Amino acid sequence: MLAIYANLTFNLIKIDPRYNLVYYGELIRNQKEYWSRLKFQLEGEIITFNSLQKQEDELKNYKLTEFLQIPQGPKQIKAASSLFQNASKIIDEKADRIFSIHAGQAKTNGYGFQAYLITEKQLPEIIDSIKKSMQKKKNHNLNISDDIIKIVKSRKSWGDKANLTNLYDDYHFVYSFSSNFFIPCLLVSLLDLQDYLMMKK
């Protein structure tokens, strides 16, 4: 599918060089959207990791209170070996049920520290990238002519573009093939999601 889109794009630019600027504008927009979505994801992970850290601390405190109530002796020594391990396991299992880019790192580094790393190290770079993308978009919009704006606003579908480049048959074959492949996969994924949501209840 990517190959046919790349071929369509190349042929459109050959037919009408103005599409260079059209696609450059789309690239800038997609970059900004990517950084914005990543920022949203990481802000959510910060909240999640801080919450998991709080839950882990509370659970460990509870386990410690239980441990101190055990009379000194072999039973207490045995309990000490897995005092906080069980608490961490419970929290790690909760984390496994949440989509996160940094789940593996958070288990190693600690949830609170991972939230700190994202806040201090990654978010500033992402915010800077968003600002740069916005500035690029502003500069691009100031330098494109009315006819380019008209092409952008026409919002031609990939089918229309395939028609313009005489790749209509190729495009529709690949589109039909990929639809037959991806729709069953999507249905399976949705069924898995339903099972997952039922499990959470």
> What are the residue boundaries of the structural domains of the chain, listed by start?
16-150
pLDDT of residue 74: 75
Cα 137 to Cα 26: distance, rounded to the nearest angstrom? 9
Per-residue HEC secondary structure of 38-98 comes to: HHHHHHHHHHHHHHHHHHHHHHHHHHHHHHHCCCCCHHHHHHHCCCCHHHHHHHHHHHHCC
pLDDT of residue 64: 82
Cβ count near 148 (within 10 Å): 19
pLDDT of residue 185: 47
pLDDT of residue 195: 46
pLDDT of residue 2: 58
Q: Which pTM was predicted?
A: 0.66
Series of mean pLDDT values for 10-residue runs along the chain (201 residues)? 61 72 82 93 95 92 80 72 77 88 92 96 95 91 78 60 57 49 43 43 44
pLDDT of residue 81: 63
